[in-house]
Amino acid sequence: MHLHNTLTGRKDVFTPLDPNRVTMYVCGPTVYSYAHIGNARPAVVFDVLSRVLRARYPRVDYVRNITDIDDKINAAAVKEGVDIRVITDRYAAAYHEDLAALGVARPDFEPRVTEHLPQILDMIGRLVDSGHAYAAEGHVLFHTRGFADYGQLSKRDEQSLMAGARVEVAPYKRHAGDFVLWKPSSEDQPGWDSPWGRGRPGWHIECSAMAEALLGETIDIHGGGHDLIFPHHENENAQSVCAHGGKAFARYWVHNGFLNVNSEKMSKSIGNVLLVRKLLEQAPGEAIRLVLLTAHYRQPLDWTDDVLAEASKKLDRLYGALRDLADVTATPNRPAPAAFVAALEDDLNTPQALAVLFELSRDANKATTPDARAAAKADLLAAGRLLGLLQGDPADWFAHGDAAEGLSPALEAMLAERVAARAARDWAASDRLRDALAAEGILVEDSKDGQRWRRA
């Protein structure tokens, strides 16, 4: 298996430290608002990676944290006049609902920062004791000049590291690039007692401490969106390596590219932020998931107005092949086809894997003998399982179509008109409407339960 490693800048052969226990840590959401479709991208990408790893190794410990201490959370709580817990519980629950709709399995561990204060304080203490961090004015700061490899992950030199630091340098910092491990809280801010006074942890130390607590000092894979490389991952790496006497922190750093909307960065000021829950009103979660897998995870992904309809059509084809195999039982214990697995094991090449999946559906349509049809069904289901697709009942997928989701009002009106025409036994009108709908790519069928439609 190969994975692109941000640390080495190339595709490396993946060999876990312990083949009996692969460890993976992915930075999870800061829970102060609903997840947008960009937030869903790393969740889906690393869900697929965990599936591929689980198929290959006997045990995978996958950690995705919930950041429930953060100044944006504090601001949201102040605005609503509630405890931060109200905010974080609400949006953590919403995150789980949204991801479940996209077929994302729960990670093995989902630590919350508020449940790891002792571990965070312990790690800060070790960094202070070893001279890698210093206390100043109620803060504890990481001494970046004391770590020779600082900048290695993000490939930044001294100058760009400084440019990345805050423009206005706090007076208590020894160097502009030093970052906060602990900061003081005012009376009205959430805070925890510490040897440096009442305060709260910085964002970076939270992940270092939770990764150590659940996975140990050196982990196999660390993931997240590429915006996290600097400063978040650079700083996590510095803290963990220094707290562990120079031992490597993560052996493979894996970063997904960004998702843009109509070629623009999603932003509140442009007003083009697409929330997962809004998209779920337009299309089934499986279609949204498929869109996210159409681009290679390292490439940017452009979300445009037609991606959901295209993904729905593709799923019509795949579920159509499965529906035609409804009368056979899939061959038991048949592994996913080698070409399909090879694509995913080649740095998670999902576009290639999807191309193989469509080939499998064409093969399935051509299969005639009972054995060949049973094998084709097994192949489709096993490949689909690795991508987190096609695990539903084909009838349910097509029932979604009946709900007319994603259809234009004009097409919906034509469907309704045809139902009315048939009720009035106006067969000529019914046929005319069927042809007109077919020209629009909507195929209608009449069953004993009434009119059904699917995309051509």
Instruction: By CB under 6 A, name the binding residues for ligand AMP.
Output: 27, 29-30, 38-39, 41-42, 224-225, 227-228, 256, 258-259, 266
Omega before residue 409 within 30° of 0, cis? no
What's the distance, Cα to Cα, between the start and end of the chain in Å? 37
* Site residue total, Zn ion (CB under 5 A): 2
Distance CA 318, CA 313 (A): 9
Q: Are 160 and 119 in contact (CB under 8 A)?
A: no
Task: Give me the least distance between CB of 121 and ligand AMP, in Å please.
Answer: 23
Do the Cβ atoms of 183 and 191 come closer than 8 Å? no
The one of Zn ion, ligand AMP, none whose footprint includes residue 107, by CB under 5 to 8 A per kind, is none
Among the listed ranges 22-30, 70-78, 185-193, 441-449, the one in contact with Zn ion (CB under 5 A) is 22-30
Say if residues 157 and 151 touch (Cβ distance below 8 Å): yes
| Alpha-helical segments (H) within 296-424 | 307-324, 338-345, 350-366, 370-387, 394-402, 409-423
Among 202, 229, 207, CA closest to 71: 202
The nearest distance, CB 232 to ligand AMP, in angstroms, is 8
Question: Could you tell which of ligand AMP, Zn ion, none binds residue 207, using a CB distance below 5 to 8 A set by kind?
Answer: Zn ion
Distance CA 336, CA 356 (A): 11
Asked if 257 and 348 count as a contact pair (C-beta separation under 8 A), the reply is no
The listed partner (Zn ion, ligand AMP, none) that binds 371, CB under 5 to 8 Å by sort, is: none
Q: Toward ligand AMP, which CB reaches closer, 233 or 377?
A: 233
Shortest distance in whole angstroms from residue 440 CB to ligand AMP: 33
**What is the Cα Rg of the chain in Å?**
26
Q: Which does 237 bind (CB under 5 to 8 A by kind): ligand AMP, Zn ion, none?
A: none
Smallest gap from Cβ 90 to ligand AMP, in A, equals 15
Q: Using CB under 5 A, which of 27, 141, 209, 387 touches Zn ion?
A: 27
The helix or strand, by DSSP H or E, that contains position 434, with its residue range, turns out to be: helix 427-439
- Are 194 and 182 contacting, i.e. CB atoms less than 8 angstroms apart? yes
Considering only the stretches 199-207, 241-249, 301-309, 311-319, report the one whose residues sit in contact with Zn ion under the rule CB under 5 A.
199-207
- Is 153 one of the binding residues for Zn ion (CB under 5 A)? no
Minimal distance, residue 28 CB to ligand AMP, in Å: 7
Q: How open is the CA angle 306-311-314, to the nearest 5 degrees?
A: 130
Choose among ligand AMP, Zn ion, none what residue 227 binds, the Cβ cut-off being 5 to 8 Å by kind. ligand AMP
- Does position 221 interact with Zn ion (CB under 5 A)? The reply is no
CB of 30: closest distance to ligand AMP in angstroms?
A: 4
Which pair of structure tokens corresponds to residue 297? 């995870």
Q: Judged by CB under 5 A, does residue 207 bind Zn ion?
A: yes
Q: Which does 30 bind (CB under 5 to 8 A by kind): Zn ion, ligand AMP, none?
A: ligand AMP
List beta partners, residue 201: 182
Least distance in angstroms from the C-beta of 27 to ligand AMP: 5
Q: What is the binding site for Zn ion (CB under 5 A)? A: 27, 207
